[in-house]
Every structure is written in structure tokens, then in C-alpha cells.
């Protein structure tokens, strides 16, 4: 059975046996994750206000605690947000605007654009081979250019390259540089313990490796950032009631100005429970095994792997050059992957050795 217990739905929809290797685009969403959320919406049909208040006052605080525990963070530093892009723009608008920023040029647009369109002074770093990020060059430029902020993805969407958060975070803290991380391509697949990392801001959407569907994100902001930069967004959650009157108190909840996506965060709560029970470290080990297996298998085939043939600096994402219409042919044979300039293949916990064998078999045939 391809793609574990999810694939039946794909087979019936596509009228062919499919192998799902595309979590880097969107993670599969098991029905077990939506059970409680479906019950929530059914209850809203009978008594909307009471049920919504229970979710807001009792259930969402528990989900916030689950997110914090998953990330090794303090609950008081976690915001439940609509998506990564919303959070990134909120952070950028909370800055002073005169900070010097260093970024990796091929990084994800939602990370880059808020800085660019708001006319920040940006120093760019490039790779030399389509894969390797020059970390030593980053460190050199951070100091030489007197950079204030390093903003970068934990895992690159266009290569699968994984940076060492501990190394760069420690360097940034040593030089009093803010470290902002996009974890959308790692949250749910790679352990992140913020208690042991020098990260000022970490933001993620939950529809990829967390397998929690669309419409939710998570933001971590440490106390150093909150004490330096007053949030430039606000709403009901920015107020506390004192002496019967609302008083504006900016803080982490300022990044949750409006009504939350109760359905989406209920799904996230189920997804996090599942990941914690499985153990994200075990998920990472499984994904690495499949990734290295695929790297080894393609070494003897007439396809071109982009980047080093190991998982040392790689998440469970590999790119093959899209030569001779490779992506179109894989698609024709029921291999679900992405065309991102080249062919992106990504493995997650529901994938199996048989999935890799199926892909390799097709690669040999075409």
C-alpha cells in the first residue's frame, strides 16, 4: 500500500496507483486529525456562542501548551497565527525599519518579500552549487557588514539544504544579532528545542510536515525581541481588563489580534499529539533512512542528483534535474512530487521502503 493509510483516497481520485512523495508541498491529512474539529463544528450548529467560548477559553490554551511543549518553549512566548506569511509581515512591521538584514537569495518569497518591499537594507548570500549554503560566508558578512538581523529558513524549499540552528544561533547571540527562522519545511519532521537554541523569532505554517491542513501557523518570539520591539499589530487579545476597563498591554498575544481558526487549531492539536506520541526524533530517523536509500539508488541511474549524496546537511527532500521531461513522466506513472525548476521528492513518516522502490522502478523504466 503506497503512502501508508492515506493512499486509498488518492488511488480512487486519480484512477491509478499513486506514490505520494510530496510532503514538501503539502502533508497528507489523516481523517483522525479532523475528528475533534468536525465535532466542534457540529456543536457550533446547535449552540455557537457557548461552544466557541469553550474552545477559546479552555481548548485553545491547551493547544498553545502542546505547541510550546513540542518546541521546547515557554507558553508565554507562543502565538497561534493564520500562517507563516501573516506572522512574518507582523514581525517586520514591528521592527524599526533601519535594521540591516542578511538573507539567502533563493529563500522562500514569504520570508524575503516583507523585508524587500519595506525597503530594508539587505545583504544577500548565494550558494555556489544550487545546494550548499556558505555558512562561513554568512558569519563573515554578519560581522563585516554590521548586520542586525539574520533571517533564513531552517530547511530550503528549493534544495532541501538544512542549516545548523545551534551553530548560527550561537554566533548571532555572540554578536548581538537577531536570528529569525522559517521552520515551515521542518516543523513536524525535525526536532526543534528552543530551550537549547538561540533563536529570537521562529515562525511556521502547519500544512506541510505537521500534517495539520491549511489556515494555521505558529509563532515563537523570545523575551529579548518582545522587550525591544513593541508589536505593531493589535486587537482584542492585546487588552486586559483592569478595574472594569480594557487596558492595552502589547505582548505575544498582540500577534493574535482577531478570532482564531478554531477548526484549524483543533486539527493542529490532534496532529501535535500524534507527532509527540510517535516521537519527532523517530520520524526524523525514518525520513533520513528513506532519503539516504533513495540517494544511494539513484547513484547508479541516468539521473542527476542536486547537492551532496548524503543526509548530513539535508532534510528528507531531494532534487533531481528535470532532464528529458522527468517530472512529467513521473507524474504519468503515478509518482506524486513537485516541479520546482527541477524535480522535488520528499519523504515523510507515512512513506515506506516500498514507496522508494516504486519510484526507483519508474526511474529505471523511463
**Per-residue pLDDT reduced to its tens digit, 302-354:** 999 999 999 999 999 999 999 999 999 999 999 999 999 999 999 999 999 99
Q: 0.85 exceeded by the pTM?
A: yes
User: Using one digit for the tens of pLDDT, what is the confidence trace for 61-108?
Assistant: 999 999 999 999 999 999 999 999 999 999 999 999 999 999 999 999
CA distance 294 to 355: 10
Of 268 and 1, more confident: 268
> Mean pLDDT in the chain?
94
- Residue 234: pLDDT band by 50, 70, 90 thresholds? confident
pLDDT at 10 over 70: no
The model's confidence at residue 245, banded by pLDDT at 50, 70 and 90, is confident
Question: Considering the domain 35-277 in this protein, what is its CATH number?
Answer: 3.40.640.10
Do 160 and 314 touch, CB atoms closer than 8 A? yes
pLDDT at 5: 42
Q: Is the confidence at residue 357, as pLDDT, over 90?
A: yes
Domain with CATH 3.40.640.10 in the chain: 35-277
Arithmetic mean of pLDDT, 284-299: 98
240 vs 131: which has the higher pLDDT: 131
Average pLDDT over residues 207-222: 98
Residues of CATH 3.90.1150.10 domain(s) within the chain?
Answer: 4-21+280-365
- Fold category of 4-21+280-365 in CATH: 3.90.1150
What pLDDT is stored for residue 14 in this prediction? 45
Question: Each residue of 106-125: pLDDT tens digit?
Answer: 999 999 999 999 999 999 99
Amino acid at each position: 500500500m503506497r503512502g501508508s493509510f492515506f493512499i486509498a483516497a488518492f488511488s480512487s481520485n486519480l484512477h491509478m496507483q499513486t506514490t505520494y512523495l510530496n510532503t514538501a508541498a503539502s502533508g497528507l491529512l489523516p481523517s483522525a486529525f479532523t475528528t475533534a474539529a468536525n465535532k466542534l463544528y457540529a456543536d457550533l450548529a446547535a449552540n455557537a456562542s457557548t461552544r466557541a467560548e469553550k474552545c477559546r477559553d479552555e481548548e485553545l490554551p491547551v493547544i498553545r501548551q502542546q505547541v510550546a511543549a513540542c518546541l521546547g518553549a515557554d507558553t508565554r512566548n507562543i502565538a497561534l497565527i493564520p500562517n507563516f506569511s501573516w506572522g512574518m509581515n507582523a514581525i517586520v512591521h514591528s521592527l524599526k525599519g533601519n535594521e540591516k538584514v542578511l538573507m539567502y537569495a533563493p529563500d522562500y518569497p514569504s520570508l524575503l518579500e516583507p523585508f524587500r518591499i519595506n525597503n530594508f537594507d539587505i545583504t544577500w548570500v548565494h550558494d555556489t552549487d544550487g545546494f550548499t549554503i556558505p555558512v562561513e560566508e554568512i558569519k563573515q558578512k554578519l560581522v563585516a557588514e554590521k548586520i542586525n538581523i539574520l533571517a533564513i529558513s531552517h530547511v530550503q524549499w528549493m534544495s532541501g539544504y538544512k542549516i545548523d540552528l545551534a551553530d548560527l544561533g550561537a554566533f548571532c547571540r555572540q554578536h548581538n544579532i537577531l536570528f529569525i527562522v522559517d521552520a515551515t519545511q521542518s516543523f513536524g519532521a525535525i526536532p526543534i528545542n528552543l530551550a537549547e537554541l538561540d533563536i529570537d523569532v521562529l515562525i511556521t505554517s502547519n500544512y506541510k510536515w505537521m500534517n495539520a491542513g491549511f489556515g494555521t501557523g505558529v509563532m515563537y518570539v523570545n523575551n529579548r525581541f518582545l522587550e525591544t520591539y513593541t508589536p505593531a499589530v493589535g486587537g482584542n487579545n492585546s487588552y486586559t481588563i483592569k478595574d472594569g476597563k480594557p487596558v492595552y498591554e502589547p505582548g505575544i498575544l498582540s500577534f493574535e489580534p482577531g478570532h482564531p481558526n478554531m477548526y484549524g487549531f483543533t486539527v493542529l492539536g490532534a496532529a501535535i499529539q500524534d507527532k509527540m506520541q510517535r516521537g519527532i526524533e523517530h520520524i526524523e530517523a525514518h525520513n533520513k533512512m528513506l532519503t539516504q536509500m533513495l540517494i544511494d539508488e539513484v547513484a547508479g541511474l541516468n539521473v542527476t542528483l542536486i547537492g551532496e549524496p548524503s543526509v548530513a546537511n539535508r532534510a528528507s527532500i531531494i532534487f533531481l534535474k528535470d532532464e528529458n521531461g522527468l517530472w512529467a513522466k513521473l507524474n504519468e506513472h503515478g509518482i506524486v512530487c513537485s516541479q520546482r525548476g527541477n524535480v522535488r521528492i520528499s519523504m515523510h513518516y507515512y512513506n515506506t521502503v516500498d514507496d522508494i522502490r516504486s519510484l526507483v522502478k519508474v526511474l529505471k523504466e523511463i
